[in-house]
Structure 1
Amino acid sequence: MHSIVPAGRVAVMAVVNRTPNSFYEGARTFGLEAALGAARSAVDHGADWVDIGGLPFSPDTPLIGIDEEIERVVPVISGLLAEREVVVSVDTWRVDVAREAVAAGARVINDTSGLHDPAMAQLAAETGATLVICHCLGEPHTHVPRPRYADVVGEVADFLVRRRDLARSHGVRDEQIVLDPGHDLTKNTRHSLAITRDFDRFVELGHPTVAAVSRKDFLSEALDLPKAELHDASVAAASWCMALGAQVIRMHDVRAGARAARLAEVIRGSREPLGPARHNV
């Protein structure tokens, strides 16, 4: 059984970005106390897992130094774990940042670069940390203009298999591996819609799979709505992915995501209804 995502359950991964320039303004919590407050609130609202990042994925943001990224994420990790019992991940593609985060108590490395640096797999093998392998083209923190795929679902699945096998070759165990097809990361809206529609293709790879759909651009374009108005769409997209087998949903709106996840578990039969039996009994 996977130590982070038990079979049949859905983990709600809350987003806490200690940055001044996140893609979604509502996720920006740059000050230490603001970031800690957001992390505490996420846990209190039902997050099973808190994902803490110090450097936005977008190359349109300044590339800060490694020491600065460590200073952004490590105090949030250690501060949260001193107060709450919760799974914490670090959202980074830099091995030195991940090493310090794991030393501070993070149990998961969320590598949005897709193991661009194989040393990240070696670190996971050495420490036993869970490793989230995300699909992404190109160099970290660089533009991939107009990405093209002949078969986006098949190509993303093949990439994840290759990187999963790379992680295995460095000693990462299967029960440490989580996969993420990378909604919107080096993909346009139609690409992200396709990987949402066929999300079960990634579930079939045999590892817990992340649906990181919350407030993403593809939802904004699909409905012609600003990110601030994507609460309902984010829950709907996450629910679609859960119906196809997603075991992790990465959400900005934790309370709504947690309710959707608990309902998905009840429908799957992996959790009993939370309330007393009253209807037609």
Structure 2
Amino acid sequence: MSLSSQLTAEQLANISPAELRQAIREGRHKANTSGLCTGFVQCNVAILPADWANEFLQFCQLNPKPCPVVAMSSQPGQIDMPEIAEGFDIRSDVPSYRIFKDGQFTEEVHDIKEYWRDDLVTFLLGCSFSFEEALLADGLEVRNISEAKNVPMYRTNIACKPAGRFSGDMVVSMRPFKAADAIRAIQICSRFPSVHGAPVHFGDPSLIGIKDINTPDYGDAVTIAEDEVPVFWACGVTPQVALEQAKPPFCITHSPGCMVVSDLPNSRLAIL
């Protein structure tokens, strides 16, 4: 199957991870990956110099809900990660990357080969897109998918545990549900701790420092009906906030919503 703008939502959902990565590598898909490759683990990305890697790993270990490590480079400069996908190349297989210098976001690119260095270490972190499949399978509507939008994400006042030079507040993603469905979503996602697990908050967004639910810091606003409550999950954009504050001289992340799509089945991450 070739990926093009003419493909239906169903075709996009059923395209294989290898086919999607090839299309990304060829520049034929540069958008978010929510709802794509049903059944397979998606990952957030953080790439930084080796002399910052141990502290970042400690930060992830201390904050497993927003930063659950799925895989990391076995050595600096490694571009493949065979444990998550055969033929994977971190330099070209993400739809969109963000470049940071001294903690400042400088540009967004679709390929990082010209930025690659032999001292870079890659971290792949669990992503909420992986548990969306379980919500859909239970008959729950996932609004960002039904409205074909990037999931809304917000900076909060929930402090992460610091590690060395890394600290910062949690970023969350939001999906609205009716109260009974929100309870069911909590039950379902509790089975997936490797991809953020149960929500961290639901209801009044101001209690976690969100001033305007209709103006996300990342992603797109979605419809919230009068009989629905916003439900918030820890989000893998959190490391970007920590990187901004730690100010490493150079680092790379995924653009919010634009994930690594692996060959790992979501079922492998579930706790039965």
**TM-score of Structure 1 vs Structure 2, range by shorter chain:** under 0.3
- More helix by percentage: 1
Q: Give TM-score, length-normalised by structure 2.
A: 0.26
The answer to which structure, 1 or 2, has the higher relative contact order (CA under 8 A, 6+ apart) is: 2
- More strand by percentage: 2
